[in-house]
Amino acid sequence: MNKMIIGIIGLAGLVVVGAAAWFLASPLFIDNVVDEAFPVQLPSSEELAQMSEEELKQMETKAMEAAAAMPDKEMAEPMPEPVSANPSVFSQGQFQDADSFHQGSGLATIYQLPDGGHVLRFEDFETTNGPDLHVLLAKHPAPASRDQLHEGYIDLGSLKGNIGNQNYEIPAGTDLSEYNSIVIYCMPFHVIFSTATLQ
């Protein structure tokens, strides 16, 4: 009877240990591919070129009618600087390997959006997969250790995929002048997988 109970407990222990080992080790052998579009859809130069002269005139007429329907309003304060209609590059950097096992490549770019917000975009991105990887916006320009990350960082969330184009929203009000790198970081083991120094 005692041997049976010990056997059942031992088997249950093996199942738990096996499940934990699979959770921690399986990402090393499985790629997670994503391919997100840029969050702001703009008409391409090709699309504009394909529009007929009549369609362009209709758009212009509608814009003029809308403007004419608006009442005049005198303003006492100066008008703000116009916001660009297109996203602009705030900073960017290339991902580098952390070591011979933890590797990464691709471009990390922070864009300023027309509404004043910011988004981080990875393009042609690939990194070694691992358990519970997160995307960090770090103050240190090229952190190589957990201690250097403690200079300050913002966690932008779980890595969506270890391969492919993807977007991460940057919290409103973030002073981006204080942050100098993007880090792919394994939370359970406190290991840096890849870093992109922003310029």
**Every domain of the chain and the residues it spans:** 87-197
Q: Which amino acid is at 70?
A: M
pLDDT at 91: 97
Q: What is the pLDDT of residue 75?
A: 40
Share above pLDDT 70 across residues of the chain, in percent, rounded to a whole number: 64
pLDDT score of 34: 87
Using alpha carbons, select from 177, 191, 192 the residue that is nearest to residue 91: 177
Instruction: Say if residues 189 and 25 touch (Cβ distance below 8 Å).
Output: no
**Token reading at 141:** 């320009």
Regions in the chain scoring below 70 on pLDDT: 1-4, 6-7, 10-29, 40-52, 55-85
Token duo for residue 169: 């929203």
At 74 the pLDDT is 40
- 8-state DSSP, 28: G
Tokens for 188, please give them.
């359970």
User: What digits encode the pLDDT tens for the residues 186-197?
Assistant: 999 999 999 999
Taking only the tens place, the pLDDT of each residue in 93-138 is 999 999 999 999 999 999 999 989 999 999 999 999 999 999 999 9
Superfamily of domain 87-197 in CATH is: Superoxide dismutase, copper/zinc binding domain (2.60.40.200)
Question: Which two structure tokens, joined as six digits, stand for 99?
Answer: 């070591």
Query: What is the reported pLDDT for 20?
Result: 52
C-alpha to C-alpha distance for 60 and 50, rounded to whole angstroms: 16
